[in-house]
Structure 1
Amino acid sequence: MKKGKLLATLLCSASMVMGSMVPTVPAMADAMKVVTLGADLSDEQKNTMLKYFKVDSSQAQIIYVTNQDERDHLSSYVPLEQIGTRTVSCAYVKPTTSGGIKVRTANLNWVTCNMIASSLSTSGVTNCEVVAACPFEVSGTGALTGIQMAYETASGQKLDETKKKLATEEMVVTGNLADSVGKNDATTVINQAKMQVIADNVQNADDIYNIVVNISNNNNVTLTDDEINTIVNLLQQISQQDYDYSEMQETLERVNDNVTGQAEESSDSSDDEDSIVDNVDQSALGDNVIESSTEDPGLAEETGAADESADGDISEVGGTDTGDGSDSSEEITDISQLNTDFLGDDAKAKFEKAKTFCQGEYSGDEDALYEVMGDDAAVTVTLDSDTANKLSIKVLQKYLGILGNGAVSYQEDGTEKYITPELNMLDKEMKKLFGIDVIDDGESSEDIDVLGDAVSSDDKDTLYKDTMKFFEKLYGESSESSDSADGSENVTTDESATDEVGDESYDETIDEESYEE
């Protein structure tokens, strides 16, 4: 993920903000548990999240969160154009009477469970279990506000507004610092400094400055003067609040042990059949799901969500250098040279369908095209074998790179046409490959208009549209204006707008044309 882009990461994931309830949901049997679902998820994706959480409408109060809710709560911190137009993230919250704050995340690739737990404690929450997740990878930076308000709904207690704002600021400061020093080091410095400031009731700015400098030195973390001053300003505001350290101690010490490598897996909740942190259906989200948990410090490393290097570079995917499943030193001349060993079963299945499509669409194999697109599909553009092979390799390389690690680096820019990040990334890559509305961003000319003069502009446009229709079908989305290649079309999902949750149905109306795609 590029440096200095924290605010951009808010746009996919800030979506757990709970404001208005859409629709009004009746009181549930267990009002102590609340699930928030992003209103812009398809019905299938919403039900997938409920399956992951292992809940239905009889077990938890379900709230649908809209993009307007998100804007209402984040516009003070993030420019509207960076917030995005869709709300997709989800949360499951259960207040508890002891045990501190326990957090599990799934498919959040930037914010960690420890960041959420530490910041949530600043909100004034003492004991709580939280599962924050999404059907596909998003950054997760905006999860905190929605969790705070879901907690208020579940507990019936209103959190102090100043503390909630400080908690949000803490998350932003931690995320900005993580851009330069890494997530664990950023959390270590801020969490340890907060512990000392609150425990010792330190309020003087110079004293807080010395604490931050000493802690960063002790942990071998190099901070700039601006970074130190930003942390000091945050902690000075926190020091003015009436926190009781004894109520925060369990959570903050657990976070510290986790991020400094001193923690062992907790056994406190593993024997609790009612624990929402430990009792999730991991199979519901498919393969290659990155997860983290304050109660299982090794989970992040096991699932690939571990902290990246200090400069923020994501580690190699599948042992390759290029991220597209191939060795950068090897010239790919055949599809069989593309390495998919690092992909999970679900990703491999999608990639195999993409191979079949390329064979059908670009090489003119009607049987292959019927297999993935249906009997009404037709080969509309005929390419010679060399051109078809070259195009197939380029398309599949781009897709393999996105399956491997593309979603980790994805950042919304307000031009999105789809809900699924992979589709938005594919659309941009396909436009480059087919020479559609290309913007010179310094990318290699090898990946721009690869068909060149060998194919007419009309045929390139047709191939681009047909290719995106395949990927839309693969991910269960469809474009209402597929005749347009200018990127301005609106999107609707294949599912109906009625969301069925468990055995009860809610007439949820999602105005899919009311937001910019």
Structure 2
Amino acid sequence: MKKSKLLAALVCSASMLIGSVVPSVPAMADAMKVVTLGADLSEDQKNTMLRYFKVDSSQVQIIYVTNQDERDHLSSYVPLEQIGTRTVSCAYVKPTTSGGIKVRTANLNWVTCNMIASSLSTSGVTNCEVVAACPFEVSGTGALTGIQMAYETASGEKLDETKKKLATEEMVVTGNLADSVGQNDATTVINQAKMQVIADNVQNADDIYNIVVNISNNNNVSLTDDELNTIVSLLTQIAQQNYDYSEMQETLERVNDNVTGQADESTAADSSEEDPDSIVDDVDQSALGDNVIESSTEDPGLAEETGASDSSDSEDWEEYPTSDDSSDSSDANTEDAAADTSDGTDESGSDEITDISQLNADFLDEDAQAKFEKAKTFCQGEYEGDEDALRQVMGDDAAALVTLDSDTANKLSIQVLEKYLGILGNGAVTYSADGTEKYMTPELNMLDEQLKKLFGIDIIDDGSSIEDIDILGADVSDEDKDTLYKDTMKFFENLYGETTDSAEYSDAVVDDSAADGAGEDSYSEDTIEDAAE
């Protein structure tokens, strides 16, 4: 799935935002080192990352980053459905006193070491070493935010909020531009323009416009008017922050040399050897297995050697399966083909949600988690034919009358639950009434709209992905789709204590007893409401 051209992509893999913090260890002589771990990684995966970083909890402070942390820090930049429900990326940060910003990445296929280094300088960081990585391949769009937070924890220095936001915006703009012109060209244009604007203290927007045009022309990079205007807007804001170019020069020049092919690898190697405690060079590559893509500001050839170079045509979103476009996002991440598939990855290496048990609702409050658990039970019963589960939430007379094959039932359950999870995670807060509402509850109105698309009911062309519309396809009859849609909405209605005539539980649900001879709903209002409470 192509990443959005809006300012909305920066979620991050390292999504290392302030999360649950292990009791801090004493600061080291050179500075505290901090590791951020995605809270949705398994314990084995978390241990894998510590092995990759070659540290243990006695040597570093560890921050566990949750999905709610991401939402708190990124929701102003990224639609909630793109933030998704899982946080899996990690970072290792070590503040330094010289040498500029040095970055290494592993298993990040959209964000590069040079993008991180340049954007991090915009945050106000001058000297720092960073390793951003994940146990499996992800885009890495959220790495910067987590690194910023880890840096603040490690250094004890609070970064300027405006500069942090500008750094986030810079990463988004660079990444979106990379989709059309490639990673190196995108980084070249923005980095060089930023260097000239800051070094020459250029404030005027027209002058900045001319700088960007000249730099893009000099590098044979074609920009659309929208891309040009977006870059100029970003740089105009950066120009107002009174950066000291001398503090950024080493990092920005290194990035420029790397992306333009002028870097002297032997010089970079000599520079790294000056610090035997460099975390950028001291990682355990074997911990992540084979075929790991990597990049490093200190080893410009590493990306090409490992297959990570200029992968601008990658269609991988962040590592999270999104709650509103899961059919695209389910392909979003690829793992090493040799990885253990028991953690939800298929044999092709796709980090795909394959079972509803993999959906994480830990970021929800207690009431929302309870509702989500009931929804999981309903899906298991209604779509997968588990009548015991269905009766648990819909009453003793409940029966699943539409038979779906196991693969289709599982796919439908995941789609419905991802959409509901996205709505629970603050999605309803963004709901805007338009006078056509069927329900009093925003969650129900949003679900009704989403489920109609999923089941192919009253489809409206609103730009939704084709994979997000009528996912059951021709293999399921229109009558059965209508039954499943009505049954699903009836469950959610009763979960929220609402009813409508238009979404009655399916008329097809009848008492199995021929003696009753009734064509009425088997699910009485009393039993449904009792089960929902």
Aligned partners of 1:41, 1:485: CA distance in 2, in Å? 24
In our comparison, the structure showing a higher alpha carbon Rg is 2
TM-align CA RMSD: 3.3
Amino acid at match of 1:18: L
- Alignment partner, residue 451 of structure 1: none
Mark the CA change 1:33 to 1:417 in structure 2 (over 3 Å): closer, same or farther: same
Spell out the pairing of 1:403-442 with structure 2 (5 A cutoff).
Answer: 403=349, 417=358
Say whether the 8 Å CA contact 2:193–2:212 is kept in structure 1.
yes
Aligned partners of 1:109, 1:279: CA distance in 2, in Å? 21
Q: 1:292 aligns with which of 289, 292, 295?
A: 295
- Alignment partner, residue 366 of structure 2: none
Aligned partners of 1:132, 1:244: CA distance in 2, in Å? 26
TM-score of the pair, normalised by structure 1 = 0.63
Aligned partners of 1:239, 1:86: CA distance in 2, in Å? 35
1:303 aligns with 2:293: no
Compute the displacement of 1:141 (Å): 1.0
* Per-residue Cα deviation, 1:367-393 (whole angstroms, up to 9, x for no partner): xxxxx9xxxxxxxxxxxxxxxxxxxxx
Q: 1:26 aligns with which of 24, 49, 53?
A: 24
Spell out the pairing of 1:84-233 with structure 2 (5 A cutoff).
Answer: 84-233=84-233
Say whether the 8 Å CA contact 1:7–1:82 is kept in structure 2.
no
TM-score of the pair, normalised by structure 2 = 0.61
* Per-residue Cα deviation, 1:71-130 (whole angstroms, up to 9, x for no partner): 000000011121011111111000001100000000111000000000000011000000
- Alignment partner, residue 486 of structure 1: 413
- Alignment partner, residue 39 of structure 1: 39
Mark the CA change 1:9 to 1:48 in structure 2 (over 3 Å): closer, same or farther: farther
Spell out the pairing of 1:245-284 with structure 2 (5 A cutoff).
Answer: 245-265=245-265, 266=268, 267-284=270-287
Where 2:198 maps in the other structure, the secondary structure is: helix
Where 1:135 maps in the other structure, the secondary structure is: strand
Mark the CA change 1:55 to 1:182 in structure 2 (over 3 Å): closer, same or farther: same
Identity of aligned residues (%): 76
Say whether the 8 Å CA contact 1:15–1:86 is kept in structure 2.
no
- Greater CA drift, 128-137 or 78-87: 78-87
- Alignment partner, residue 470 of structure 2: none
Mark the CA change 1:484 to 1:300 in structure 2 (over 3 Å): closer, same or farther: closer
Aligned partners of 1:29, 1:120: CA distance in 2, in Å? 23
Aligned partners of 2:175, 2:314: CA distance in 1, in Å? 15
Aligned partners of 2:235, 2:357: CA distance in 1, in Å? 37
Where 1:16 maps in the other structure, the secondary structure is: coil
Aligned partners of 1:460, 1:203: CA distance in 2, in Å? 63
- Alignment partner, residue 367 of structure 2: none
Aligned partners of 2:175, 2:79: CA distance in 1, in Å? 17
Mark the CA change 1:399 to 1:80 in structure 2 (over 3 Å): closer, same or farther: closer
Compute the displacement of 1:490 (Å): 8.5
Aligned partners of 1:60, 1:110: CA distance in 2, in Å? 28
Amino acid at match of 2:300: P
Amino acid at match of 2:232: V
- Alignment partner, residue 337 of structure 2: 347
**More contact order relative to length (CA 8 Å, sep ≥ 6):** 1
Aligned partners of 2:26, 2:149: CA distance in 1, in Å? 17
Where 1:223 maps in the other structure, the secondary structure is: coil
Mark the CA change 1:418 to 1:5 in structure 2 (over 3 Å): closer, same or farther: farther
Where 1:198 maps in the other structure, the secondary structure is: helix
Compute the displacement of 1:173 (Å): 0.7
Say whether the 8 Å CA contact 1:65–1:87 is kept in structure 2.
yes
Aligned partners of 2:314, 2:8: CA distance in 1, in Å? 17
Say whether the 8 Å CA contact 1:40–1:66 is kept in structure 2.
yes
Compute the displacement of 1:6 (Å): 7.3
Aligned partners of 1:217, 1:247: CA distance in 2, in Å? 28
Say whether the 8 Å CA contact 1:18–1:65 is kept in structure 2.
yes
Say whether the 8 Å CA contact 2:122–2:167 is kept in structure 1.
yes
Say whether the 8 Å CA contact 1:208–1:232 is kept in structure 2.
yes
Where 2:279 maps in the other structure, the secondary structure is: coil
Q: How many pairs align?
A: 354
1:241 aligns with 2:241: yes
Aligned partners of 2:236, 2:179: CA distance in 1, in Å? 23
Say whether the 8 Å CA contact 1:40–1:87 is kept in structure 2.
yes
Compute the displacement of 1:269 (Å): 1.3
Mark the CA change 1:185 to 1:294 in structure 2 (over 3 Å): closer, same or farther: same
* Per-residue Cα deviation, 1:307-341 (whole angstroms, up to 9, x for no partner): 036xx268xxxxxxxxxxxxxxxxxxxxxxxxxxx
